[in-house]
Structure 1
Amino acid sequence: MDDPNADTEWNDILRAKGILPPKDEKSKDEVEDWYTDVVRAKQEQEQSLDNKTLDELDELEDEQDDRILLEYRQKRMQEMQAAAAKNKFGVVTQISKPDFIREVTEASKEYHVVVHLYQDYIPACKLMNQCLDQLANEFKATKFVKIIADQCIPNYPDRNVPTLLIYGEGDIKANLVGAIQFGGMEMTVRSIRSILARHDAVPAEKVVDPEKEKKKTIYRTQATAALSSDEDDEDDDDRGYY
């Protein structure tokens, strides 16, 4: 079959009589223009680079490096700002009953809140406060607060303090009553951290495999012994020259 777009006299007659549609010259021209533009742009880019001196090419490379460095700096700034926004606490804050909803319930919608119900004159509460001070400084993403027990809950019995309340997602997650479960007067930062970690209030402590540590120690000992042996051999060799 003949090409209806071919430039022939017969096709021109058929187009004149309306038997064939007009040639799609516009589409053809658009394709040719597009191809010409692409070729010209490529040639201009190549000529632009070809005409640059080594110093100019180095400058261009430096500009690209600066752009990459700027993007990296912006990314690091965003990461640092996010970390600063998250790690915003670091101390145990004293609150009163009117503050409780704002400082605990509402705040716990964004992060975990640990509340210490205490009495100043009870030794276990004093020890708990000392431990919480260290934990608050270590885990700045968790909010630690303390409140006098019977100011928070009227007639709260002394036998129940220290009490830790753990809040998260706007609600109470754990109610830990009494010193005994923390180790009594033998409680430590580590024992309290372990309990808080079980309720996701702080990150769990990394567990160290004793067998792996033992192997590492043996390896270090063997490596040190081998190194010492090599040094002794070198000393013996040196002594042999005299």
Structure 2
Amino acid sequence: MQDPNEDTEWNDVLRAKGIIPPKPQETEMTEEDIVNMVESAIQEKSEGKPMDKMTLDELDDIEDEIDEEEERIFEQYRKQRMAEMRAAQMKAKFGEVREITKADYVDEVNKAGDGVWVVLHIYKDSIPLCKLLNQHLSLLARKNPQVKFLKSISSLCIPNYPDKNLPTIFLYFEGDLKKQWVGPLNFGGMNFKCDELEWMLAKAGVLETELEAPPKPEVKDVMNIAIKQSTINDTNSDDDNDWN
């Protein structure tokens, strides 16, 4: 009896008429299957440590133990890993609050680069709240090295800048001014905490935070509230007079 799986013209006719079942399809190995197999083999040789967790030295150590096909895919992994490490280094290129003057402004702020947030604090050491903000900014700079934190003494950065506007914080993204906080009322006094500043910067999109809510209710504009309340009282007083 003829094998129904055999490749013959007669079997092709029988398959076309549905008399015998179609020939079983051979399972083809995809590129992803090959990558997974090589990945498993390399992981065994590296004592189970995933490649994306290896340092470049560890990758070099196992390079001699792989065959030609493994080497091709291994080299792709190595290039990808180097690119990831370079990207991480680029993101982590700041990490401190740098002092600038007016002469540095264009290069440090307007030409900060693609994807870079700049936090610029205009201050005077003689103002206690400015000193407090500089302490908070130093902590946040170490915590967020991908953000460029700068500070500048007001008289050296903006001539004749009034002290009543200090502290001032400017937020730039890719050289464009996105937000500014001018004057002490924005920061709530000497009890202002680092977490509060972190929340403000996160809300503006400068950095990510693990804080789930503002550390304390946002500062309200007491003067505006008083004016509105006074207007309401005056209106009510006029209405009362109309009834007399």
Q: Same-fold call, TM > 0.5?
A: yes
Name the structure 1 match of 2:208: 203
Report if aligned partners of 1:198, 1:204 keep a CA contact under 8 Å in 2.
Answer: no
Gaps of 5+ in 1: 1-58, 209-242
CA drift at 1:113: 0.5
Residues 192 and 66 of structure 1, relative CA distance in 2, 3 Å threshold: same
- Residue type of the alignment partner of 1:179: P
Match of 2:199 among 194, 197, 206: 194
CA drift at 1:143: 0.4
Answer yes or no: is 1:100 the counterpart of 2:92.
Answer: no
Tell me the distance in 2 between the aligned counterparts of 1:61 and 1:137.
41
| Superposition pairs of residues 215-230 of structure 1, within 5 angstroms | none
Report if aligned partners of 1:183, 1:191 keep a CA contact under 8 Å in 2.
Answer: no
Report if aligned partners of 1:93, 1:145 keep a CA contact under 8 Å in 2.
Answer: yes
CA drift at 1:127: 0.7
Tell me the distance in 1 between the aligned counterparts of 2:190 and 2:165.
14
Tell me the distance in 2 between the aligned counterparts of 1:130 and 1:170.
25
Name the structure 2 match of 1:114: 119
Which piece of structure 1 moves more, 109-118 or 178-187? 178-187
Secondary structure in 2 matching 1:107: coil
Equivalent pairs, count: 150
| Superposition pairs of residues 10-25 of structure 1, within 5 angstroms | none
Name the structure 1 match of 2:190: 185
CA RMSD in angstroms, aligned pairs only: 2.3
CA drift at 1:187: 1.5
Secondary structure in 2 matching 1:190: helix
Tell me the distance in 1 between the aligned counterparts of 2:184 and 2:141.
19
Tell me the distance in 2 between the aligned counterparts of 1:206 and 1:65.
45
Report if aligned partners of 1:108, 1:167 keep a CA contact under 8 Å in 2.
Answer: no
TM-score (norm 2): 0.56
Higher helix residue share? 1
Name the structure 2 match of 1:64: 69
Tell me the distance in 2 between the aligned counterparts of 1:95 and 1:112.
16
Name the structure 2 match of 1:142: 147
Match of 1:86 among 82, 85, 91: 91
Tell me the distance in 1 between the aligned counterparts of 2:207 and 2:141.
10
CA drift at 1:63: 4.1
CA drift at 1:66: 4.1
Answer yes or no: is 1:164 the counterpart of 2:164.
Answer: no
Tell me the distance in 1 between the aligned counterparts of 2:82 and 2:146.
19
TM-score (norm 1): 0.56
Greater Rg by CA: 1
CA drift at 1:194: 0.9
Match of 2:135 among 130, 137, 157: 130
Report if aligned partners of 2:199, 2:211 keep a CA contact under 8 Å in 1.
Answer: no
Gaps of 5+ in 2: 1-63, 214-244
Name the structure 2 match of 1:42: none
Report if aligned partners of 1:113, 1:144 keep a CA contact under 8 Å in 2.
Answer: yes
Tell me the distance in 2 between the aligned counterparts of 1:109 and 1:60.
41
Residues 61 and 82 of structure 1, relative CA distance in 2, 3 Å threshold: closer
Tell me the distance in 1 between the aligned counterparts of 2:76 and 2:91.
23
Report if aligned partners of 2:97, 2:150 keep a CA contact under 8 Å in 1.
Answer: yes
CA drift at 1:200: 1.3
Residues 70 and 108 of structure 1, relative CA distance in 2, 3 Å threshold: closer
Tell me the distance in 2 between the aligned counterparts of 1:175 and 1:139.
20
